[in-house]
Structure 1
Amino acid sequence: MRIRDLPFPDPGRPDVRSGSRFLLWLGREQLGGQLAAMLWGTLHMACTAAFPLAVGLAVQSVVDRSGARLALATGLLLLLGALTALGDAMLHRASVTNWITAAARVQQLLARKTAELGATLTRRIAAGEVVAVSTGDVEKIGWFVEGVSRFLAAALTTVVVCVGLVVYEPALGLVVAAGVPVLALAVLPLLPPATRRADEQRDKAGHATELAADTVAGLRVLRGIGGEELFLDRYRRASQEVRRAAVHSARMWALIAAVQVLLPGLLLIAVVWYGVALARDGRIGVGELVTVYGVITFLLFPLRQFEELAQAFAFSRPSARRAARVLALERTSGPEGCPAPAGGLRGDLYDPVSGLTAPAGRLTAVVCGDPDAAGRLADRLGGHAPGRAAEGEPSVLLGGTALDELPLAAALAAAREAVLVQDKEPVLLSGTLSELLDVPCSGAVTAEAALAAAQCEDVLASLVRHSPEADGDAFRARITERGRSLSGGQRQRLALARSLLTDPGVLVLDEPTSAVDAHTEARVAEGVRALRAGRTTVVFSSSPLVLDRADRVVFVRDGKAAATGTHAELVASEPAYRAVVTRDSDTDGQREGDALKAGAIGAASGDRDGRERMEESA
């Protein structure tokens, strides 16, 4: 495999039963590259190991005053130099290729898994862990995969050199042959504690990074309640723990490095001392002693390869374990699920668990007393509820077709085009407005119509005002990362416009107007109703301004559809519904105060949801 041929047509099906099995599978998948690197590495190291033989031959020829043997030794040195340079260059080329191809394979596997799971991925595993696996962990995995070939080349060369040394000079060769395995195995007892310390350091560093990210994200709210110092102290403590863990880990790796220097040095001293005694007795020549000394010096190089591979394995095994955990995630449906209807998915949306029905072509509002329950129900309606089928819960039906039982190919072709779920906190990617709205769509809704329905006039004006390069064209205006230059309500309306533009058969909106004022909320509700006429729309909201414009309202209580009707009917007949959707000033004030207190406590304890509730209330 050459780098120019990347990406792979098919990255393969990985063995994700464990991190070690995943690393083994990666090595097998690029066996040709590994063999090439091993052969070039063997050539490089064998020529390097043969240098002492040529030098010893040259020294002995000088002692014996033989010009012919000196010329032969000189030619041999030149040949070995050329072969060493060639082997070193090609080894580096092959090793880097192995590294990059292994990393690219893992990244392709992660991309394929992300596309397969879609929004379900971040509901089953933290988004930060996915990012860590696709960046730093990929590099560590590639490091180990490419190091295997160099290790094998070093091991093969070491065995050949030791055998040759025994044949060349048995007295000294036996000493070296007995000492080298001891040197190679001496660090093995130190590897488990070194690995544990490295894992501890990574865990603490990950916690500190997560704490820093949460603090930056909630900095505005923290300043509002005077909580900056609290979080700053927490981050100081976390960073100090990382520092101590790093020093603790570095000490063990320094000890391993020291052992790798000390023991070969002792072996070298012993061999030289014994060799000098043999030379004095006339049992070996000076050239032979120089050769043996040079060979022992060379053996320090393969031993460093052993140490590097051990270190690479210690760092890559946790990374491979995390990658395997992500790649092991599966959709709830199997590959042999029921086929999608030939004409696409159409009809009523029905959830057997809650009893919720959203009739085709109508605007249905859903009221839940628990925001978390509303989010889970929205996920179910989009077929994104992980593991529900495995737990025995029936799937959501769209036109009588179970979404969870669709095979992946049918899901991509039908379910994901038929049902779109907009999260409570949709993400805006950086780029121009035109790029933001460049999404798969039916073509029946224009970008201008979607923006108008979402009441984005002031958003467009703000984008133009802060983007001089747009030259008055809102579609050329740039949106900063995650839309941070916009207010929460503006971000929410842009995301709503993007969802409306896709024009899916079923659109599920989770609190699409929670961050806008009442006047704008009423106009947004009317715009959505008009634009989605004849299309199935489900809106999770407790705002009377939205509920009053719905064709039907479903009140969900304790996970079950408790009542159905219009907003006016339910207000008159259902006290529990009325308590959720109607608020007087005292109730509002008390609720706001409770939310602020809960949010402050949650933020102080690192609870992201608590901080978000505080931001909404503030």
Structure 2
Amino acid sequence: MRRAGLPGRSLLWRAVGGQRRDLALGAVLGMGHQTGEALVPVLIGLAVERGVVAADPGGLLRWLGVLAVVYAGLSFSFRCSARAGERASVTAAHRLRTELVARVLAPEGGAEDGRLPGELASTATEDARRVGAVTMALVAAIASATGLAVAAVVLLRTSLTLGLLVLLGTPLLLWLVHLLSKPLERRSETEQDRAARASGVAADLVAGLRVLKGIGAEPAAVARYRRTSQESLAATLRATRAGAWQNGVVTLLTGAFLALVALVGGRLTARGDITLGELVSSVALALFLIGPLSEFSWVNAELAQGRASAARIAEVLGAGRAVPPGPPAGGSPPRPVRGGLRLRGLTYGSLRGVDLDVAPGETVGVVTADPADASALLRCLGRHADPEGGTVALDGTELPALSLAEVRAAILVAEHDADLFEGTLLDNVTAAAGAATAARVTAAITASRTDEVVRALPDGTATAVTARGRSLSGGQRQRVALARALAADAPVLVLHEPTTAVDAVTEAGIAAGIRDVRAGRTTVLVTNSPALLAVTDRVVLVEGGRVTATGTHARLVHDRAAYRTAVLT
């Protein structure tokens, strides 16, 4: 269940506040740039007064020299201001991405529930970028406001009428621009939601491409993505139209305002209230105002998109945790971890009051008539979820009393659909092995029959593996993932259907390899494979969410019809 623990606006300003230094530097330098830009029309007017009206070449050259110095200063200020603003933007986005990745990968989980991987990737990239861009927008807003203020002061000194017109008209214009940004913000949020959804569906389909081709479901998959993509396109077009409409109206309002300023200035000049140089400065200032006022339109659009993205990020960061993080001090199981498991009255999902004891060093098979029972058991053993009722204990200590790090170090749950990572085959095998010896890694590769895969690859264990192991076949990926789990040498290893993609001969060899390499270590095989169940010390049959039978594989095959149905059909 999701909950928004961090309001979007709060997160937005927290991200901006974290860049105070660069934001302040960029704003100050931007103010210097805009002040220089506003003074340029004034200096041009003075040059006209000295060179044309007063016919003073020396004065003309002097003011032209001052104008050149101002141009050099405003150019330097702009360059450094843009650099500081961009640095603040990129840093803020990076910190948000880091925070999002940490939340998604947090041991207690919960952030990924109900979200496709592609959706989370879109949030961590595009949404984080848009929130970071708000810092650059604020630098531009402060600089533009300064330019408007300087222009207003100059106009007030030139003519009270012109100054008041700018001072009163500008806030009204900005208020209208703010109102116009509201529809854009709403449509931008919808656009980002639909785009993230489309990315998630695309990533999901690519991940299952082999399966889709195998069952001939490509047309259905294409139709699904086409619908999602069209929804995203429609939302993007609506947001684009809203942005274009906003920019067009803002341009129209700005042009009307500037025309009014020029008209009033011209009438004042005609009456002799201002000089020719002041008229030139006034008209040039009116033209200058186009820049800052247009900048505010862009700033409002960036703020609208930033607020929408911040709300999406806040939803992920504030997502409810799947399990509590554990005691503050971080409890530890007795050392060394012997690997005894005790389940009492375990109730979760489809499980109803499961009682099970696994002695240290024992290999136990768990057969489930309903795949949902297997999934529920795996989530509780790996503490990806806490039971709704009952307890799970490791060496006599209940899992919630231990820190999550200790639980995950002691109990390794190897899921059936475990992913491989980009890197070499050896990198994938040793990813969870820590300081494993070469002998242990070799034993894990041999036990999982990954040595056959190694011999078939051009560079052996140094062969590059693409993301998610797509460069390998399904059986090769499964064996490499099993080798990784075995190489970790966890005190308790829970394997879920580790041999569904291999042939019967290879499966029998893997079963013997697991038995040998895990000798003396607690192993739970959640599987319906006869070959794997045959090497266990005993097997537990779960039906209707409860343990209904316990015994050796051979005994249960002989005595229980439900067991035969589960493992032999």
Secondary structure class of the residue paired with 2:289: helix
Alpha-carbon distance in 2 for matches of 1:491, 1:571: 31
Alpha-carbon distance in 2 for matches of 1:334, 1:310: 44
Q: Contact 1:454–1:494 (CA<8 Å) still a contact in 2?
A: yes
Secondary structure class of the residue paired with 1:356: strand
449-458 or 45-54: which moved more? 449-458
Alpha-carbon distance in 2 for matches of 1:44, 1:564: 81
Alpha-carbon distance in 2 for matches of 1:120, 1:240: 30
Alpha-carbon distance in 1 for matches of 2:327, 2:19: 28
Match of 1:448 in 2: 442
* Gap change, CA 1:351 and 1:24, over 3 Å in 2: farther
Once the 2 structures are TM-superposed, how far is the Cα of residue 36 of structure 1 from its aligned partner?
1.1
Once the 2 structures are TM-superposed, how far is the Cα of residue 400 of structure 1 from its aligned partner?
2.2
* Gap change, CA 1:250 and 1:116, over 3 Å in 2: closer
Match of 1:606 in 2: none
Once the 2 structures are TM-superposed, how far is the Cα of residue 461 of structure 1 from its aligned partner?
2.5
Alpha-carbon distance in 2 for matches of 1:180, 1:119: 49
Q: Which of 179, 184, 193 is the matching residue for 2:183?
A: 193
Match of 1:406 in 2: 402
Once the 2 structures are TM-superposed, how far is the Cα of residue 394 of structure 1 from its aligned partner?
5.2
Q: Which of 423, 433, 437 is the matching residue for 2:429?
A: 437
Alpha-carbon distance in 1 for matches of 2:508, 2:110: 32
Alpha-carbon distance in 2 for matches of 1:205, 1:129: 8
Secondary structure class of the residue paired with 1:116: coil
Q: Contact 2:429–2:484 (CA<8 Å) still a contact in 1?
A: yes
The answer as to 2:298 corresponding to 1:308 is yes
* Gap change, CA 1:176 and 1:197, over 3 Å in 2: same
Amino acid at match of 1:190: L
The answer as to 2:347 corresponding to 1:351 is no
Q: Which of 160, 168, 175 is the matching residue for 2:158?
A: 168
Match of 1:51 in 2: 40
The answer as to 2:241 corresponding to 1:245 is no
1:549-601 superposed Cα distances (whole Å, 9 cap, x missing partner): 11121222333333322223333444433332232xxxxxxxxxxxxxxxxxx
Q: Contact 1:442–1:503 (CA<8 Å) still a contact in 2?
A: no
Once the 2 structures are TM-superposed, how far is the Cα of residue 148 of structure 1 from its aligned partner?
1.8
Q: How does 1:599-610 map to 2 (within 5 A)?
A: none
1:107-134 superposed Cα distances (whole Å, 9 cap, x missing partner): 2223433443277654564322322222
Secondary structure class of the residue paired with 1:443: coil
The answer as to 2:26 corresponding to 1:37 is yes
Alpha-carbon distance in 2 for matches of 1:450, 1:500: 5
Secondary structure class of the residue paired with 1:425: coil
Secondary structure class of the residue paired with 2:535: coil
Alpha-carbon distance in 2 for matches of 1:318, 1:172: 38
Match of 2:351 in 1: none
Once the 2 structures are TM-superposed, how far is the Cα of residue 254 of structure 1 from its aligned partner?
0.9
* Gap change, CA 1:462 and 1:122, over 3 Å in 2: farther
Alpha-carbon distance in 2 for matches of 1:80, 1:393: 75
Once the 2 structures are TM-superposed, how far is the Cα of residue 502 of structure 1 from its aligned partner?
0.9
Match of 1:143 in 2: 133
Q: Contact 2:185–2:308 (CA<8 Å) still a contact in 1?
A: no
Alpha-carbon distance in 2 for matches of 1:278, 1:41: 32
Alpha-carbon distance in 1 for matches of 2:113, 2:513: 31
1:309-332 superposed Cα distances (whole Å, 9 cap, x missing partner): 221222222322232233234451
Alpha-carbon distance in 2 for matches of 1:112, 1:156: 39
Match of 2:328 in 1: 336
Identity rate, percent: 36
Q: How does 1:127-142 map to 2 (within 5 A)?
A: 127-142=117-132
* Gap change, CA 1:358 and 1:129, over 3 Å in 2: farther
Q: How does 1:200-599 map to 2 (within 5 A)?
A: 200-223=190-213, 226-329=216-319, 330=321, 331-334=323-326, 336=328, 339-341=331-333, 343=335, 345-352=337-344, 353=346, 354-385=354-385, 388=386, 393=389, 396-407=392-403, 411-412=404-405, 414-439=406-431, 440-441=433-434, 443=436, 446-464=440-458, 470=459, 474-583=460-569
Q: Contact 2:420–2:469 (CA<8 Å) still a contact in 1?
A: yes
* Gap change, CA 1:341 and 1:335, over 3 Å in 2: closer
Q: Contact 1:422–1:510 (CA<8 Å) still a contact in 2?
A: yes
Secondary structure class of the residue paired with 1:186: helix
Once the 2 structures are TM-superposed, how far is the Cα of residue 84 of structure 1 from its aligned partner?
0.3
Q: Contact 1:442–1:502 (CA<8 Å) still a contact in 2?
A: no
Q: Contact 1:16–1:22 (CA<8 Å) still a contact in 2?
A: no
Once the 2 structures are TM-superposed, how far is the Cα of residue 278 of structure 1 from its aligned partner?
1.2
Secondary structure class of the residue paired with 1:284: coil
Alpha-carbon distance in 1 for matches of 2:417, 2:559: 33
Once the 2 structures are TM-superposed, how far is the Cα of residue 382 of structure 1 from its aligned partner?
1.2
* Gap change, CA 1:404 and 1:502, over 3 Å in 2: same
* Gap change, CA 1:66 and 1:130, over 3 Å in 2: same
Alpha-carbon distance in 1 for matches of 2:563, 2:435: 37
Once the 2 structures are TM-superposed, how far is the Cα of residue 237 of structure 1 from its aligned partner?
4.3
Q: Which of 25, 46, 60 is the matching residue for 1:70?
A: 60
Amino acid at match of 2:13: L
Amino acid at match of 2:53: V
Secondary structure class of the residue paired with 1:355: strand
Alpha-carbon distance in 2 for matches of 1:120, 1:421: 18
Q: Contact 1:509–1:540 (CA<8 Å) still a contact in 2?
A: yes
Secondary structure class of the residue paired with 1:504: coil
Alpha-carbon distance in 2 for matches of 1:140, 1:153: 20
Q: Contact 1:37–1:94 (CA<8 Å) still a contact in 2?
A: yes
* Gap change, CA 1:344 and 1:318, over 3 Å in 2: farther
Q: Contact 1:163–1:177 (CA<8 Å) still a contact in 2?
A: no
Q: Contact 2:23–2:139 (CA<8 Å) still a contact in 1?
A: yes
Once the 2 structures are TM-superposed, how far is the Cα of residue 217 of structure 1 from its aligned partner?
4.2
* Gap change, CA 1:56 and 1:194, over 3 Å in 2: same
Match of 2:350 in 1: none
Q: How many residues align?
A: 553
1:150-179 superposed Cα distances (whole Å, 9 cap, x missing partner): 222322442343244223321211112221
* Gap change, CA 1:183 and 1:581, over 3 Å in 2: same
Q: Which runs of 5+ in 2 are unaligned?
A: 347-353
Alpha-carbon distance in 1 for matches of 2:330, 2:452: 47
Match of 1:6 in 2: none
1:66-93 superposed Cα distances (whole Å, 9 cap, x missing partner): 3454234223212211110111011011
